[in-house]
Amino acid sequence: MTKTILKTIKELNEWRLINQRNINFVPTMGNLHPGHEKLIREAKKSKNNLVLLSIFINPLQFNDKKDLINYPRTINKDIDLAFSAGANAIFIPCVDEIFPKNVNKIKYIKASENLSNTLCGIYREGHFDGVCTVVYRLINIVRPEVIFLGEKDWQQLLIIKEMVTKYNLRVAIKSIDTHRDLNGIPFSSRNNLLVKNDREKLKFFSKELFHAKKIFNQTKTISLGKIIKRLKGKDIRVEYLKHVNAFNLKESTSEMNITMLAGAIICGDTRLIDHVFFMKRDPIIAIDGPAGSGKSTVTKLIAKRLNFIFLDTGAMYRALSWYLIKEKINYDNHKDLNSFLSNISIKFKSVEGAKQHVIINNHNVTEKIRSQEISSIVSSIASIKEVREFLVKEQRKIGDNGGIVAEGRDIGSKVFPDAELKIFLTATINERAKRRKDELEAMDHGIVDFEQLKNEIEKRDFDDTNRKISPLIKAEDAIEIISDGYTINQVVDKILEIYFETIPKELHL
């Protein structure tokens, strides 16, 4: 393998032109350690892409000049490690190459205020602006398909993700879990600056965090005061220790599910950070979208892949509609409806092949609820306040312990507003009508008229989005996926990729 070292943007462009392949990019500041090695090996996994590692000590992210001067520089060792881990090329630009004196060329980026005005951001003024500016610049220079970052710097990771979304940068972000040594200390370039006594302090700090995690798993509480006291007892200078929401970094509250205990300690002249994640219940994935968007199939497959419960809320509304008709209930009469609802039990029963049966009061209605008769009335029944309240309560009960993938029309906005991942899955009307036609014909419903189906879907969209109670809406924090032109498996893979990128890796282990 040729060992290519690129020093200028011109050389980088020529290298890209010769190779004509997409780039997996690992940005670093050098002094490579096993954590970086893991990033390179991860980047190497997609066989088609080239792996480019950059080594650039970014002056903009050092608020303390002494820290910049002391930052460990081990370029020859770094080059050997990067190539032996599988990098195809290393980009080692000088400061003038990345930040030329001609200031007009450089876009200075301000890091998200919400994410940077807490934890490290409070103690390192301008640090995250400097990180964003250099990463933005490097992305523009390298134009990678994927950028690889470590979860050890979780706050940095969230801030870079936010920047990539805000500026619509065409790059995917992949993160890897924090890599620790045998003592449980996270690998970090700054560890090299520690003397033995400081190493012991760092080891104690990391151990305390994991001890807190153990206690949290048993009691669902943590005492920051006690941890700080124990750290101080070991003569450890705590810069901060905070328990925050893992995604927006706001102070944690009892309703939050995934949270993070994060801290920074000072050992000699060196500042070190570490964190652990807590999770009260397993994650919830909410998949909303209009009729025929492929939600059910996608949700089922995701549940199977994650070994989660598949909550088909649409089937619950359909089953209830079927039963109301069968029992000839006058659902306009609230009293009749309420007494009817108080005797309803809807269950899902798993059967072979990742399928599940829908049972309402001992009637197996799995097939019957897919008829066109039910399709044409379910939307109006689903708009009855009592019906929705009853089913939302049932759905929340099923979701109490998490570990579910739920699909419907108001899952992310109403049923599980705290879901860790919200997807709004949609497709054009033509595509959805075509899918529904194939589905119905495969179920022996005879030849189905395409235009009629299209009209029905259009009407249903209108009813669903315009009803007063829990209309179909894309939750503010939902990610929209338009599935035209994608196979079901491609959509499933995409959602799983987003899921694994959202939930900290420490919690997958």
Instruction: Catalog residues that contact ligand PAF under the rule CB under 6 A.
Output: 27-29, 58, 61, 131, 134-135, 153, 156
Of the two residues 58 and 296, which places its CB atom closer to ligand PAF in the complex?
Answer: 58
Residue 64 C-beta-side C-alpha neighbours within 13 Å: 9
CB 425 within 8 A of CB 288: yes
∠ Cα 303 346 283 (to 5°) = 30
| CA dist., res. 235 & res. 262, Å (int) | 19
Distances (CA, A) of 159 to 23, 57, 136, 265, 501: 22, 19, 12, 22, 14
Residue 363 is a catalytic residue: no
CB 302 within 8 A of CB 492: yes
Of the two residues 273 and 392, which places its CB atom closer to ligand PAF in the complex?
Answer: 273
Q: In angstroms, give the least distance from the CB of 30 to ligand PAF.
A: 9
Q: What single DSSP character describes residue 477?
A: T
∠ Cα 403 408 409 (to 5°) = 130
| CA dist., res. 228 & res. 51, Å (int) | 42
Catalytic residue among 36, 179, 243, 275: 36
- The phi and psi torsions of 318 (rounded to 5 degrees) equal -65, -45
Q: Encoding tokens for residue 157?
A: 């990771």
CB 253 within 8 A of CB 137: no
Of all residues in this chain, which one has the CB nearest to ligand PAF in the complex? 27
Q: In angstroms, give the least distance from the CB of 62 to ligand PAF.
A: 10
Q: In angstroms, give the least distance from the CB of 364 to ligand PAF.
A: 55
Of the two residues 27 and 290, which places its CB atom closer to ligand PAF in the complex?
Answer: 27
Q: In angstroms, give the least distance from the CB of 143 to ligand PAF.
A: 17
Of the two residues 139 and 244, which places its CB atom closer to ligand PAF in the complex?
Answer: 139
Of the two residues 58 and 259, which places its CB atom closer to ligand PAF in the complex?
Answer: 58
Q: Indicate the pairing of strand 404-408 with strand 421-426.
A: unpaired
Of the two residues 271 and 435, which places its CB atom closer to ligand PAF in the complex?
Answer: 271
Q: In angstroms, give the least distance from the CB of 153 to ligand PAF.
A: 5
Q: Is 397 exposed, middle or buried (0-12, 13-18, 19+ CB in 10 A)?
A: exposed
| Polymer length in residues for the chain | 509
Q: In angstroms, give the least distance from the CB of 130 to ligand PAF.
A: 8
E-strand spans in 12-171?
Answer: 23-28, 50-55, 89-91, 146-150
Residues with catalytic function? 36
